[in-house]
Amino acid sequence: MKRIYGYLRASTDRQDASVPAQRQAIVEFAQHENLEVADWFTDDGVSGKTFDRPGYRRMRALILGGNPDGVEHIVVWSLSRFSRVAPDDFIAEKRELARAGVRIISATEPIRGEGTMADGLLGYISAYQNREFLVRLSTDVRRGMKALVQNGFWPSVGPLGYARQVVDNNRQPVIVNGQPLVLKRGQLKGDQNHVVLIPGDPGEQDAVRFMFQKRAYERWGLRRIAAALNAAGHHTINGQPWKTTTVRSCLTNVTYIGHTRYGVRRKLAGVRNQIEGTKLQRNPVSEIVVVENTHEALIPAELFERVQQTFRKSGGRSKRVGCGQRRLMLFSSAITCKHCGAHYQCRPRNKCGRTYYYYECCGRGQGRTDARCDSWCINVEKLKKFIFGEIQRRVSTDEFRTALRAYLVGRLGQLLRSEVLDTRRIDRDIALAQQKKRRLIDGIAEGVLDRHDQLVVQKLAEIDDELLVLTTQREEIVRVVGSDLDADAIAATLLERVNDLAGFLESQDVETQRKALFAFCRRIMADAQRREIVVETDLLGLAQNETPPGLPAGLCISNLPE
């Protein structure tokens, strides 16, 4: 009898697939398949967008630490309970577990951890769909947050110096035990209510005014202000000591002059993974929502503007210039130092009036570890020529050609037979959206809902957007299924592109080149003592990140241009 680990996860207690329901389903599945559950691991109320989850970390440590229970599989209710990370991160974690002899089984999906091509393909498609669910959910949340801000409500946690008061849709305070309901920091509001900001703790208000006055009238630096706040016993809203970054965020926050601002930054798409974490980028001014005079100001507008002038005069954050300034290049952060584990970054050097670019270890001379690197640098052009030559040598083998053709033929066949190209689910979603729209329209006709109510108008617009997306997806799937897809022809086209990989990469921007090369070069390691570069590649890595022509964009892993 095979031994397994049962893994249970739910983001909230309101999900249909709650932890007890998942456990019961896995128990029934184990009895049917003659499996023995060695142990259970649970993450209740934890998001699946990362692998940094307590229950999963304990299970992973046991498996990679020798597998003392002798398990062969991890059984989950569905792959969405295992994770909702990006597909590449899912594949990397799956390989790590497979090296330890443990595979993943879904109790409700046709994924049995057999290591076959069909099993891997269905797992990848499921991981892609699970990730897309989070993307769509975040889009809906942002849309709802913008609507709240435009109506004058506060969308998130209260900043320093403010408290959150619960109000109804008409901005009237909610009374509990004869007093207006004011939330404590971290306390959640009711689903049917909203919050507005009111002046909070007097000590926090004094800290805010102290920062602005010292910066505006005495020209204190950020480091000095942070030190003074820490010496006086003040902390940030997270209970942490003050730093220059947290002081700057307070001094540039328009909330303190009575305005509400939302949508300043967003997550940079395509870079959130287990290694690099989350990166943010500033939204265009047109996408930032600012509503003035939504609450009482703590700082006069004249004082706030005077502080902003001090930042404009100093030019904002200081930037490194000259030969020390870093530059994003093709292999930036892709090369790992064998001795200290730091990444290699590209930096310019001036010689005889000319500028040359080199990859240099970030840990050199900075004391990150006891084993510091020496001054060995890698010339940009020489490294590029070496890597391209290594790729060209490996993809020109008959082994790669055979594996690539077999992979593409199998992948296209599985896609055409899988539920991904089945329109029944989309038809159900379309019918459900149309039913919601009819209910709203009937409510307006019967006088229950107001046609000019902002929330009603917003809800109708959201349903129309959802119907448009679903209809477009259905038309695309019908077009693909109805077309004649020749797997051999697609494989031949992709082989031509791989054979001319250097020419293809030279015609693309740096980000596209990095995306294609990282799919093939799983690891690049520099050995400063031996003066050599070690490249570990995956023969099918590049193929799996190409876009087979003729497939809809929503089913493809990436969208590299033809």
Long-range contacts at 213-220 (CB < 8 A, ≥ 24 apart): 213/303, 215/251, 215/307, 215/310, 216/303, 216/306, 216/307, 216/310, 219/310
pLDDT tens profile 465-485: 888 888 887 776 666 555 555
Cα gap 131→76, rounded to integer Å: 17
Average the pLDDT over 524-539 and give the result: 73
CA dihedral over 324, 328, 331, 336, signed as positive or negative: positive
The predicted model gives 392-398 an average pLDDT of 72
Nearest CA among 271, 287, 511, 543 for reference residue 400: 543
SS (H, E, C) 1-34: CEEEEEEEEECCCCCCCCHHHHHHHHHHHHHHHC
CB atoms within 10 A of CB 174: 17
Domains of the chain by start residue, with CATH: 2-137 (3.40.50.1390), 162-259+294-314 (3.90.1750.20), 319-421+480-562 (no CATH)
Model confidence pLDDT, tens digit, residues 90-140: 888 888 888 888 989 988 888 877 767 777 777 778 887 877 777 777 777
| DSSP one-letter code for 430 | H
Average pLDDT of the segment spanning 313-341: 61
- Asked if 418 and 554 count as a contact pair (C-beta separation under 8 A), the reply is no
Segments in 34-116 forming alpha helices (H): 54-64, 79-82, 87-99
Which H or E element spans position 180?
strand 179-180
Calculate mean pLDDT across residues 452-461. Answer: 84
> Which secondary structure element, helix H or strand E, spans residue 462, and what is its range?
helix 454-482
Instruction: List the alpha helices (DSSP H) in 184-330.
Output: 202-217, 222-231, 244-251, 301-314
**Cα–Cα distance measured from residue 94 to residue 104, given in angstroms and rounded to the nearest whole number:** 8
Distance of CA 212 to the CA centre of its chain: 35
- For 359, the token pair is 């990859």
Using alpha carbons, list the distances in angstroms from residue 423 to 270, 428, 480: 28, 9, 12
Across 517-521, average pLDDT: 69
Q: What is the pLDDT at residue 385?
A: 79
- pLDDT tens digit string along 29-58? 999 889 999 999 998 888 888 888 888 988
What lies within 8 Å, CB to CB, of 231 at 6+ separation is none
Strand partners, 164: 183, 197
Residue 210 CA to residue 228 CA, distance in Å, equals 10
Q: What is the DSSP string of 369-397?
A: SSS---S--EEHHHHHHHHHHHHHHHHTS
